[in-house]
Amino acid sequence: MDQATAKPAQPAPCAIVIFGAGGDLTERLLLPALYNLERQGLLPEKLAIIGVAVSDRTTESWIQETDDFFKQMISSPDSEFQAKSIDETAWGRLQSTMSYFRGDISDPSTYKVLGETIDAFDKKFSLNGNVLFYLALPEKFFGPTVDHLATAGLLKQSGKFWRRVVIEKPFGHDDASAKALNADILKSLQETQIYRIDHFLGKETVQNIMALRFGNGMFEPLWNRDHIDHVQITVSETVGVESRGSFYEPTGALRDMVPNHLFQLVAMTAMEAPASFEAEAVRSRKVDAITAMRPIPPEDAVRGQYTAGKIGTKEIVGYRQSEDVSPTSTTETYVALKIHIDNWRWAGVPFYLRTGKCMTNRSTEIAIRFKDAPLALFPRAAADQAAENWMVLEIQPKEGIKINFNAKLPGMQMILAGVEFSFNYGDFFKQIPAVGYESLLYGALTGDPTLFQRADQVEAAWAAVQPVLDAWGKKTDSIPFYEAGATGPAEADQLLQRDDRHWRPLVGDV
Ligand code: BG6
C-alpha cells in the first residue's frame, strides 16, 4: 500500500546538545534515530549536533566510534537499527553536523564554555538561537544539569527562538521524588519547554492504538464496560538483568516498567476521545485516565524474581547470581497487578497488567476480552475449539491486530468453532527503518509535545503505584520465585483465578 502522501515539515534550524554523548542511549538509539531522520530529509537543513561527555574524545573519534557502531549494528541480526547498509550520503551529512564537547556536567564552568560554543555554532550555521538540550543522563543528574543550564542563562527563550529540554525516564522513583523533580526543573523551565520521553510512545503500534480507536467508527461503541469483560496488558521480555544490576537492584520491575511503559498502554487503551488531535487535548485525556486509576492495594499486586533456568536452548543464571546483584536480593523482576479505572467507561472492568524479565517469550500485547454472547444458542465443537471474544493489539515483536470470534463449523449441524481475523502491519505497509526514537526526536524538534508526558501524568502514575511501593519497601523477607523461561510465579495465576479468570498463554518469539 502507498505510504502517506504529504511529507512532514522540516524542523527549524537548531543546535542539538546531547549530554551523555558517550553513553549507550546516544550510541544505540539517538544517533541511529537522527541518521534515520536525515535519510528521510526530516532533520533541520541547518543543524549542529554537539555531544557533551566527560571522557577524552575528539570530534573525529566520536564520529569514528559512531561509524564503527553503525557497522556493528548492521551486521547484528537482533539490532534495532533495521538497516541493511549505510546510506553514505545521509551519514556523511550527519557527520558534518557533529562535534564533541568535553566537559564535566557537575562543573559550572562547563556551561559557560558550552554557551560560547553554542553561540559560535549559531553564528556559523545561522541557527537562530534555537537549542534542544537532550539529557541522556542518569536520573540524579536531571535536576542539577537543568539548574546549571539555567544559571548559565542557556534556557532563556524569547518569542524569536526556543530552548527545549528532553529528559528520559525514570522521572523520579516514587511519588515524592517525581513531584520533587518536577518542582525542581519547573523552577527554571516552563512546562512547554520540557519533553519527557517514554520510548514506548515512539512505537508505531502504540501510536496506532489511537488510530484504531478514534479513526474508526466500529470499535469505539463497544469500547466500554457494557461490552468489555476485562483487559490484559502483557510486556514479557526474554532478556534478564544482563549487566544492569547496579541500576536494577534499587529499581525493580515495578518502577522500571509500570508507571511509565505499561501505564502508557493503559492510558492509550482507556482514554476518552480527545476533542482534537491537538497536543494538550490528547495529553489531558490521558491524564484523566491515569488520574481515575484507583491507588493499587498491595493485595492486588504480585511480584516475583527469576531463578536459574533455560530460555529456548540458552542457559540463564538466576537473578541473584547476576553481576552487581545481592545474593539475598528481594528485588522483583516480575510484577502483576490488577487495576481499576474509576470512571463511567471502565467502572467494574479490571485491567490486569504483567511484565517480567526472563520469561518464556518476548511479547507485548493489549488484549481486550469482550463479554460472551448473552445466551448460548449454539453448541460448541469442543471446549478448546470455541473462541472467547478477544481483540488483541500486538505491539511487539509481532505488529498487528487479531480478533478471535466464533464461526459455524462446516457440516450439517449448527456448531461453533473459534476462528481468527488478523492484520499484520507488514502485509499492508512498507516499514520505514526506525529505532523507535525518530518520531520522538522529530516531535521535540518541531515543538509538538503530543507524544511526551506532562508533569501531571507522571505524578498521577506514581500516585497509583505508591501503596504497592510502600508495602514492598517494608517487606524484606521473601519473594516468590519463577524459573527463567517460565511465565511468572504461581501467585500471578492466583490473582486472576480469584476473579474466575486466567491469563492468556504467552506466545511470541523466544
Ligand atoms: C526500558 C527498561 O525502559 O525498557 C528496560 O529500563 C526494558 O528494563 C525496556 O527492557 C523495554 O523496552 P523495549 O522497547 O525493548 O520493549
- Ligand 1 pocket mutation pick from 257, 322, 358, 509 by most atoms within 8 angstroms of CB: 257
pLDDT over 70 at 82, yes or no: no
Res 2 pLDDT > 60: no
- Buried b / exposed e over 292-329, threshold 16 CB at 10 Å, is bbeebeeebbbbbbbbebebeeeebbbbbebeebeeeb
Higher pLDDT, 220 or 416: 220
261 is catalytic: yes
Distance 438 CA to ligand 1 centre (A): 17
SS3 72: helix
Ligand 1, CB cutoff 6 Å, lining residues: 199, 237, 239, 256
pLDDT at 507 (0 to 100): 79
* Ligand 1 nearest atom to the CA of residue 235, by list position: 16
State the average pLDDT over residues 442-467: 97
pLDDT at 75 (0 to 100): 78
Ligand 1, atom nearest to 199 Cα: 14
Choosing from 237, 238, 365 the residue with most ligand 1 atoms within 8 A of its CB, the one to mutate for a pocket test is 237
The Cα–Cα gap between 6 and 427 comes to 22
Which whole number is the average pLDDT over 419-429? 94
For the stretch 150-167, pLDDT in tens is 999 999 998 899 999 999
Using CA atoms, how far apart are residues 274 and 277, in angstroms rounded to an integer? 7
Instruction: Report how far ligand 1's centroid is from the alpha carbon of 199 (Å).
Output: 8
Share of the chain above pLDDT 90, in %: 86
pLDDT tens digit string along 87-105?
Answer: 999 999 999 999 999 999 9
Catalytic residue among 148, 199, 261, 340: 261
What is the model's pLDDT at position 474? 84
Length in residues, the chain: 510
pLDDT above 70: residue 5:
no
DSSP 90-155: HHHHHHTTEEEEE--TT-HHHHHHHHHHHHHHHHHHT-TT-EEEEE-S-GGGHHHHHHHHHHTTTT
The pick from 29, 246, 256 for probing ligand 1's pocket by mutation, whose C-beta has the most ligand atoms within 8 angstroms, reads 256
pLDDT range class, residue 227, cuts 50, 70, 90? very high
Q: pLDDT value at position 21?
A: 96
Mutate to test the pocket of ligand 1, among 29, 261, 265, 359 (most ligand atoms within 8 A of CB): 261
What are the phi and psi torsion angles at 389 (to 5°)?
-85, 105
Q: CA dihedral defined by 486, 357, 66, 83, rounded to 10 degrees?
A: 50
| Residue nearest atom 2 in ligand 1 by C-alpha distance | 256
Unique residue bearing C-alpha cell 492509550: 268
Q: Average pLDDT in the 118-124 region?
A: 97
Give, using CA atoms, the residue closest to atom 8 of ligand 1.
Answer: 256
The sign of the CA dihedral 247, 252, 254, 258 is: positive
The residue-averaged pLDDT of 201-223 equals: 96
Over range 313-329, report the average pLDDT: 96
Q: Are strands 351-356 and 334-339 parallel, antiparallel or unpaired?
A: antiparallel
pTM, 2 dp: 0.95
Give the phi and the psi of residue 316 in degrees, each rounded to 5.
-115, 135
Give the integer Cα–Cα distance in Å for 250 and 256.
10
Atom of ligand 1 nearest to the CA of 364: 16
Distance 244 CA to ligand 1 centre (A): 12
Kindly indicate the confidence band of residue 80, based on its pLDDT and cuts at 50, 70 and 90. Answer: low
Cα 126 to middle of ligand 1, angstroms: 38
Beta carbons of 361 and 238 less than 8 angstroms apart? yes
d(CA 400, CA 212): 11
Angle (CA) 404-229-416 rounded to 5° is 35
Q: What per-residue confidence (pLDDT) applies to 79?
A: 63
pLDDT value at position 81?
66
For ligand 1, atom 14, name the residue with the nearest CA: 200
Q: Is the pLDDT of residue 72 over 90?
A: no
Q: Among the listed ranges 95-104, 356-365, 413-422, 490-499, which one has the minimum average pLDDT value? A: 413-422
The answer to whether residues 207 and 344 touch, using CB atoms and an 8 Å cutoff, is no
Q: Which of 337, 230, 341, 349 is nearest to 288 (CA)?
A: 341
pLDDT band per the 50, 70, 90 thresholds, residue 74: confident
Binned at pLDDT 50, 70 and 90, residue 233 comes out as very high
- For residue 295, how far is the Cα from the chain centroid? 22
Ligand 1 midpoint to CA 261 (Å): 8
Whole-number Å distance, alpha carbon 415 to ligand 1 midpoint, is: 44
Residue 6's pLDDT is: 76
Q: Average pLDDT of the chain?
A: 94
**234 near 398, Cβ under 8 Å?**
no
Q: Strand 309-311 and strand 131-135: pairing?
A: unpaired
Joined together, the cell numbers standing for residue 215 give 479513526
The mean pLDDT of 50-64, rounded to a whole number, is 96
Of 92, 88, 80, the residue nearest 434 (C-alpha)? 80
Is the preceding peptide bond at 397 cis, omega within 30 degrees of 0? yes
pLDDT digit string (tens) for 368-410?
A: 999 998 888 887 766 666 689 999 999 999 999 999 999 998 9
pLDDT one-digit tens code per residue, 122-149: 999 999 999 999 999 999 999 999 999 9
Q: What is the arithmetic mean of pLDDT over 324-341?
A: 97
Ligand 1 atom at minimal distance to the Cα of residue 200:
14
Atom of ligand 1 nearest to the CA of 247: 6
